[in-house]
Structure formats: C-alpha cells, structure tokens
Structure 1
Amino acid sequence: MTGAHRSDGVHHPDDGGLPAAGARTPVDDILAHATRDPGAIAVVTPESELSYGELAARIERLARILTARGVGPEEVCAVAVERGVDAVVAMAAVLRAGGAFLTLDVELPVPRLVSMAESGQARFLLTTTALAERLALPVTGPTLLLDRLPAPGGPAPAAPPYTAGPRSLAYISHTSGSTGAPHAVMIERAGLDAYLRFVVRDYGLGPHTVAVQLAPLGYDASIRDIFAPLVAGGRLVLVERARLLRADTFAAVLQEYGADTVLSTTPSLLTFLAQGPDAAERLGGVRTVVSSGESLRPFLAAGGRALVGGLLVNQYGPTECTMTSTRYKVPAVPDTSADVIGTPIDGVTVQVLDDELRAVPDGAVGELYIGGGGVARGYRGLAALTAGRFLPDPSGPPGARMYRTGDLTRRLPGGELEYLGRSDRQIKIRGHRVDPAEIEGALLTHPHITGAVVTAETDGQGRTWLYAHVTGLSAGTRDASVRAHLAATLPPHMLPRRFTRIDRLPVTRSGKTDRGTLGRPSVPAAERVS
C-alpha cells in the first residue's frame, strides 16, 4: 500500500502538505481535522460529545501547560487517569509538547503501577487529585492534576517549541509479562506515526469510521484504539469497558453509538462473543474487526469467520515492534489448517532464520526476526537485555537493527507467514511437535464446548501429556465421548488425557487467556501416559 492507493471515503493522512513521515505525530492530523471541520464529532461518551475543534483546543492548552512545566523531548510523562476524554487529551498533549507518554491502567494493583513508573523512568505525572493520593507513584518531577488545571481565559503559557524529531521517544509501553518479567519498551515517533497511517490506509478508515476503545489503558493496543480513528477523522467511542466484555451488552453498545469498527480485540473475546444464538447479531454488522495477541486459529476452526460480516484482520506483532508487524486479512472461507499471520505491513521487514542467523528455505521452520521502521529503541534501563534481543540487521542499511521475537514461523507458498508458537514453549508428544491451537480449534467444534485451553503437563517420569480446560461441557458428558469427537480429526498423540470443566476461561486485563491461573492436575500412576 502507498499513498497512491485510493478507495472512496477513506482518509489518506499522507496527503495535504504535512511534514515528511516521522516528523509528525497523530496530533497533527487531529489539528488538521479541527481546522477543516471544527464541528465534526471526534469523541463520544455516555455523557457528552466532543468536537474536533474542542478536542484540539484542549490538547493545545494542556500542551502549553506541560511545556511550561518542563516537558520536552525524551521526557517521559506517566498518565494515570480513568479511561475517558482526559486520557485522550493527556496522551495527545504530551506528544504535542514533544514528550513521551507512559499510560497506566489504574485498575491494576498499586505495586505493579509503581514498578511500571520506575522501570519506565517517568519524570512527570498526569493524574487526578483522588488518584494521586491513592497511587502515590514515584516520579522525580512535577505532578499535574488534570482536575485542577488553571481556568481557561488566563494568560496563555508559551507555545510548545515542537522540537522533537522522528527519533525522539513517543511512548513507553510494557511487555505483557507472558514470556517473562514486564519490561519498559521505548517506541520512537517515526515508528508510531508510520504505523497509525498504515492502519488508516490499509483498513479503510475515514470520517465514516466509528470505533470503540476496547483495549485497557496501559497496553499498547489502546494507542491504536484511540489514535487511529482520530487520525482518520472518524469518531472514537469511550464507554465502560465492562459493557464491551459482556455478550449481552456488546451488540447494544455498537448499536447505540453506531460503532462499526473494533481495532483491538483478542481471539478469546471473539470466541466468547461467538457463543449463543445472538452471535451473528453481535458481530455481523461490524465493518472492521482486528484481532491480535493470541492464535486466531481456534476461533476460525469453530466457524467464527462466518459470524463476522465485514473485514476480519489477524494481526501479529510484539510490543517491541510498534504494536503490529504483519497482518492477514482473513478470507470468507479461511484455511483453518494453519495459523496464518500474513505479510509485513508497510516499512517492516521479516526474516525467518535458523540458529546461525541464516535464512531458511520457504516452507522450513525458523525463528522470526523483524526489522524496519517499527523496531523499538530497546528496553529502558536494560542495556544488556536490549543487546541480546535487538541485533544488527545485515540486510538493512548501516545501523539498522532487527528484533529477535522468539517465535517460530515458516513462509507458505503464497508468501504469507504461518505462526508455529514460541520457540521456548514447543510441545513434543512422543516425538511429534504439537500445536495446542489446533487441538483447541477441534475442541470448539464439539456442540457443547464454548471455550478451550490446552496445556502440556509432565508426569513423575518426565513424560509429557496434554491437559484441556473447557467451558460449556456438562459433567454428564464423558471424557471418552469428547476424545471420540476429537479422534475424528486428530491423531492419537494429540488427544488430551484429562479434561477439567470450568465456568469461564480466565483472561488477563488485555483480554488474553490467562493460562497461568489455570489449575494443574495431579495424575494417578494408572493414568500416566507414555
């Protein structure tokens, strides 16, 4: 995709005489929309609507205050507020002032937030009076209380100098911790700008777009949720997140606000929303659904694609590479035999390499390395870890680096990448490599199973066996009948030995299945497998 690609109704943010890509931020587009059509609605909440003109004025005012307090390039500002308009204004104003934001999910435990503020090396804090007292976050510089800003109409602070360049920090985001302790990742302005503009172009966003913010603050997906629709000139809908996580109110929210775009969901949530007789109503009218964070294969194997009436995109990308590195637009009749993550987005390169960093032939399995403009600067305050994960890219220009993902992939005949799981989480059963997502997808085809997670366990003799947690299955349904159902499509070594029935799969704050909280079984000697 380039700026020459056109389709009716799509906003093209690379037009209009703005500075070259990387020298600008999403705020430039918000201000441009405010100039062209100040009365157009930018943000909608249950209480009010905010026009682009009003949003731009609030951003400019707060940016001037931040500049007067000392915010500028490379200065990190922690943003600790409830989800809502204040969060949008604060993030944008920090960018406008030349700084970098670190958004925090204030519903997380306080010790976790303290750790994030410390590892992100935040100097400034934007919060409210009540939250400042409750959180007591450690910052070395000023705390700005958003509910006690100077009244409008007084002497205007000096305008921000706007000296931040494309290599300046844009935001700090922490890794999820699913593969180890969370680390503070430094993303630069050029990567953020290029990525958001790609999303607008590739997914056909424009003034017609009405998108809901689903991802919680503090997770990088929320940055896409918030800024992509605003870069496109569309509407951003901010409602209580719990309403979007309940099957009975999800469709009601979309209908109430005319929302047609979900830019950050997870396969776990899609699978949950796909249950019951009203599933087609919940997802059928959505124009664009973007999924990431987990394997989409189980959802597709269970027939989920037919429930999404519009565009369904499977995104892949680590936090270390500006949210998304590859994407796959799922066809109406998908191939469910592989977990396809597609091709690189604009400005990103991908290589499938062996242990000696040599390219493997197409079809062969290797580790995925990501290069290009979206690669992060590294981990804040962790030079050794950065050096071990961000390596020189021999195929790029001088000074280019590539990120070692730890994910196994292979290139399919059509050029798309197939995701094969973590290199450090491969399951071997009797010499066979097993993909849990394939088994989970087969479980979801059972008429009574509504959710499934498959894990590997080891008995006292070091032998590996499969364990399944399932939802929707009654106690009266025998495990043997479930295995018989699976045996119709799976070989014997892929059949779980144990099944545990639970009411609902646990999920993390970001919406991924929380495998770490699932109980581990004890295996009687008579049932241990070889």
Structure 2
Amino acid sequence: MISTFVADLRSHDGPAIVTGDRTLSYPELVARVERLAGRLAGSGVGPERVCVVALERGPEAVIAIAAVLRAGGAFLAVDVDLPDQRIASLVAGADTLLTTAALAQRFATLGVPGSPVLLDEPGPTAPLPPGVAPRSLAYVGHTSGSTGTPNAVLIEHRWLHDYLRFVARDHRLGPDTVAVQLAPLGFDASIRDIFAPLVAGGRLVMLPRATLLRPDEFFAALERFEVNTMLSVTPSFLTFLARHDDAARRLRGLRLVGTTGESLRPFLASGGRRLFAGRLVNQYGPTECTMTAARFPVPAQPDTGVDLIGTTIDGVAVRLLDGDLRPVPDGQSGEICIASPGLARGYGGRPALTAERFVPDPFGTPGARLYRTGDLARRHPDGNLEYLGRADRQIKIRGYRVDPAEVEGVLLAHPAVTGAAVTAATDERARTYLVAHLTGDLAEVGDAVLRAYLARTLPPHMLPRRFARLSRFPTTRTGKIDRRALTAGALR
C-alpha cells in the first residue's frame, strides 16, 4: 500500500490556494479534503470506482479531485464549459458524479448511475483507507480519437505521487513558489499545474477563465498575486501574450515557465525567449505516460533551428525505434517509444488500440511494456532529444518530407506575423500543397512578399502555395491551435 499525496499537504502550513476574494490555508485544505473523502467513501467511491468531478474551476474542484484520490478512487475531471454532448462522451462508464446542487439538473442526463454526490449538501460518510494499492486506478484522461470519439486513458496510482514530487524537485518548487493554474480541468496538465506546487508547499493562484483571455487583466493578476511560476502553458498562449506591446515587462516576475502540448520551436524562432528573464522549460510527454517523459531547459540564446525536448525524467526511458522496434543509430530519426512506470493501463474499452500502442518492451524486464507515441525524434551526441514532429503530421511534397513546424518557425520570424500554422491541402489534380494560416498586421504584406521572405531560407518545395490571413486562430479547449478547424476552412 502507498499513501496519497494528501500526506504531503499535511506537512505544510500557510496559504495553499488563493483566488480573487479568498485564501485557503493548508490545514483548511486538508480538513476539507478529508471530510469530502469520507462522504465519497460513504457513497461507494473506492478502488476501481470512477468519480466524475463536474465543478467550476476553483478551490472546490481541487478539493474534490484530492478527495477522490484520498478515498482510493479514480477521478475523471470535466470542464463544465464544454457542450453537454461532449461531456456525455467523456463520462461514459463512470460510476459516480460529484457536482453541486446548481449543476446537478444539467448533468442528470449524462448517464452516470445513482444519485449524484452534491458538494454543497450533507450525506453519509464512511471510514477512509490508510492508503491505496499502487496498481489501482487514479484518474481517467482523454485523447482525441481518430473517429471523433475521445479515447479514455487509464492512469494508475503507482507513479502519480512520485511524478509530482519529481516535478517539484526538478523545477525547484518550494514554499516560495506562487504558481498560476492555467490548464483547464479535464486536461491532464492541470494535475501538474495544481498539485505539484501544493506538494512543494507553494501557493496556487486560481483565476477566472475570462481573466486568462484578457492580457491586461491577466498581467495585472500576475503582479497582484506576485506569481512567479507557470507550470503548464501552451506555446500558442505564450504567442497570444507576446502580442502585447509591454509583455516582457509585465512577465518579468516569472522565474519559471514550463511549456507543454505543442512544439515550442515556432515561438522560439519568433524571438519569444527574450520575454522571460527566468527559466523556460520545454516539457514533452503524452497523456498515456503520466504527463511528462522528457524536458529541456531552454537557454537564453536558443538554437531555433531545432526543437529540443531534452532528456528523460527520473524513472523513464525513451527508445528511438524503427517500424520493426529496432533501435536507430544516434542522429537518425526514430519513433519515440516510452518505457515508464507511469504508462497507462491502456484505453478504456479499446483493447485493439491498446494492443497496437502499448507493446512488449524487447529491451526491458519480462512483462515490461513500451508506449508507441507516433512522434519522431533523433538523439544528439549530448543526449538531448530533438523532436521531429508527428509521423502522421509529416507532409510529403513532391517526394520531399516536410515538417510544418519548420515553415511556421520561419514565418514567425517575419516582423508582421504574430501567429503561424501550416497545414496541407490537395488540389483538383490530387497534388498536395502547403497552406500558411497567419495572424498579424498583414494588410500591406502580399503573398509574393511572404513567399520571397521564405525563399531566403527554405527550398521551393517548402513554400506555401496559399496564405490565409486570420484575425485569430481557432483553438481547442486546452489552448492549442485547432488544426482540424483550419484544415476544414482551407477545404471550403
């Protein structure tokens, strides 16, 4: 048996969670987690029971997630701003719903069995377990499925606590850490965002979603709460902030920025590193591997010609393999295959997909597994991994294999361009070509000018045929550029 990370919270004092109008101390946080965990246990939440947490972002959602884990169950957090149909597809197969009286009626039709546990109403309680079995389920995350139906990713307890402690240690988090929560609930990076600072005894600042979408309000909040850490921010959000004329000054209090979810290379190529005087860390890891497999501390003068994801975190191995699962020589491209105690069990209800992605590790101990990510990388002589993009995002143009991120990086270096995303389209003769979707002050910058600018550094086959000018990019709920929406627009 192992204890949950709630034990770590008991060892801290002082403010734990801060919002615009209230502060929750560590003793108060632990007491509320224990009380709610007892209620959840009294409602049947325990090992292998999945509890949907359907709450507005804020301290109550943090308490709820921690309470599910303390009760020995598994949480499935949802962003309540999502459409009902989307939420229904995420919570299929769950055992219990935890919500508020105000939201209960809305979620009554989701198909979660039994009466919901209402956060703001009393209920029966039961004794709590002293610990939790390492191989029991901790949480259910989701990735986008090729059919449009999200894939449920099943993560166990055995690695979660060690992982959060590693993040705190590796990022030098401590009682002086003031971290702002950015990743939406339901996105696995929110677990790192929320609990790594708390495990370290730091302070977690939670802001309304509307504040995150307004740069002036967001910058003012960073200054008001003396935020010094952002653990899980997408490069797209950093690009959004960088468009503010005074961004570098307003971000000067940050001593650590951890990026996640997308290639950092286009942001660096646009000169984004100069925004931060403190540390900038590029984090890489799929949902299927408990958030992080490798990370790279970006130097003050980065090499923008490569997308480095660095070296593996403690306990994790990355093998670069060919299609037959044979190692490729250093310097050559191979698929990133991850060996880790943090590997998911697999995909809920998808045994064939699980067998395809989670395979026996031919280089590990008997019974060890590898997760085949579908991402490509090569290993540099110094051991750092260079990310080469998705195997399924590589575009073949006239026989040449093109990485869209390379074209995006050059475009972002143009002074009039504030955002760039490159997708593929097909013409009436079935020929594949590139489309560059751009934001910025481009009214006086014609296609020919952009193409000539790119031609200074890129070969002809990497030049986009079309340039689409946008006022803003469509984004997913996690803040990434929605490339499917861009592609659909290009085909109309």
TM-score under structure 1 length normalisation: 0.90
Q: Report what 2:51 is aligned to.
A: 77
Q: Report what 2:238 is aligned to.
A: 270
The Cα of 1:369 is off from its aligned counterpart by 0.5
The Cα of 1:220 is off from its aligned counterpart by 0.5
Q: Report what 1:129 is aligned to.
A: 101
Q: Contact 1:97/1:162 (CA < 8 Å) preserved in 2?
A: no
The Cα of 1:277 is off from its aligned counterpart by 2.0
SS of residue matched to 1:455: strand
The one-letter amino acid paired with 1:391 is: V
Q: Residue by residue, what CA displacement relative to the aligned partner does 1:98-134 show, whole Å, maximum 9, x if unpaired?
A: 111000111101011111110xx21011001121101
Q: Contact 1:368/1:405 (CA < 8 Å) preserved in 2?
A: yes
Kindly indicate whether residue 10 of structure 2 is the aligned counterpart of residue 31 of structure 1: yes
Percent pairwise identity: 63
Kindly indicate whether residue 378 of structure 2 is the aligned counterpart of residue 410 of structure 1: yes
Kindly indicate whether residue 288 of structure 2 is the aligned counterpart of residue 313 of structure 1: no
The one-letter amino acid paired with 1:219 is: F
Equivalent positions of 1:227-306 (< 5 A) are 227-306=195-274
Q: Residue by residue, what CA displacement relative to the aligned partner does 1:380-435 show, whole Å, maximum 9, x if unpaired?
A: 12222211111111222221111010111111121111111111221122222211
Q: Report what 2:114 is aligned to.
A: 141
The Cα of 1:180 is off from its aligned counterpart by 5.7
Give aligned pairs, total. Answer: 490
The Cα of 1:470 is off from its aligned counterpart by 0.7
The one-letter amino acid paired with 2:10 is: L
The Cα of 1:520 is off from its aligned counterpart by 3.9
The one-letter amino acid paired with 1:28 is: A
Q: Contact 1:122/1:139 (CA < 8 Å) preserved in 2?
A: yes
Q: Contact 1:244/1:253 (CA < 8 Å) preserved in 2?
A: no
Kindly indicate whether residue 446 of structure 2 is the aligned counterpart of residue 478 of structure 1: yes
Q: Residue by residue, what CA displacement relative to the aligned partner does 1:335-392 show, whole Å, maximum 9, x if unpaired?
A: 1111111111111111000111100000111111001111111111222221111111
Q: Mark the runs of 5 or more structure 1 residues left unpaired by the alignment.
A: 1-21, 151-155, 524-530
Q: Among 71, 85, 95, which residue is 1:111 paired with?
A: 85
The one-letter amino acid paired with 1:448 is: A
Kindly indicate whether residue 183 of structure 2 is the aligned counterpart of residue 215 of structure 1: yes
Q: Report what 1:11 is aligned to.
A: none
Out of 176-185 and 22-31, give the one that drifted further. 176-185
The one-letter amino acid paired with 1:141 is: G
The Cα of 1:177 is off from its aligned counterpart by 4.4
Q: Report what 2:66 is aligned to.
A: 92
TM-score under structure 2 length normalisation: 0.96
Distance 1:280 1:176 in 2: 34
Distance 1:242 1:414 in 2: 43
Q: Contact 1:467/1:498 (CA < 8 Å) preserved in 2?
A: yes
Q: Report what 2:418 is aligned to.
A: 450
SS of residue matched to 1:148: coil
Supply the RMSD in Å over aligned alpha carbons: 1.6
Q: Residue by residue, what CA displacement relative to the aligned partner does 1:244-277 show, whole Å, maximum 9, x if unpaired?
A: 2322222111101111111111011111111232
- Shift in CA distance, 368/265, structure 1 to aligned 2, threshold 3 Å: same
SS of residue matched to 1:376: coil
The Cα of 1:179 is off from its aligned counterpart by 8.9
The Cα of 1:445 is off from its aligned counterpart by 1.2
Q: Report what 1:7 is aligned to.
A: none
- Shift in CA distance, 496/60, structure 1 to aligned 2, threshold 3 Å: same
Q: Report what 1:65 is aligned to.
A: 39
The Cα of 1:492 is off from its aligned counterpart by 1.8
Q: Residue by residue, what CA displacement relative to the aligned partner does 1:147-205 show, whole Å, maximum 9, x if unpaired?
A: 1135xxxxx94430235211111111111448963111111111211211110010000
Q: Report what 2:20 is aligned to.
A: 46
Q: Contact 2:16/2:201 (CA < 8 Å) preserved in 1?
A: yes
Distance 1:177 1:277 in 2: 39
Out of 182-191 and 512-521, give the one that drifted further. 512-521
SS of residue matched to 1:368: strand
Out of 272-281 and 178-187, give the one that drifted further. 178-187
SS of residue matched to 1:346: coil
Q: Contact 2:3/2:132 (CA < 8 Å) preserved in 1?
A: no
Deviating runs (4+, > 3 A) in structure 1?
Answer: 176-181, 519-523
Q: Residue by residue, what CA displacement relative to the aligned partner does 1:278-328 show, whole Å, maximum 9, x if unpaired?
A: 120233321111111111000001111111111111111111000111111
Out of 472-481 and 410-419, give the one that drifted further. 472-481
- Shift in CA distance, 373/439, structure 1 to aligned 2, threshold 3 Å: same
Q: Contact 2:376/2:390 (CA < 8 Å) preserved in 1?
A: yes
The one-letter amino acid paired with 1:516 is: R
Q: Mark the runs of 5 or more structure 2 residues left unpaired by the alignment.
A: none
The Cα of 1:498 is off from its aligned counterpart by 1.0
Out of 426-435 and 86-95, give the one that drifted further. 426-435
Distance 1:206 1:52 in 2: 14
SS of residue matched to 1:470: strand
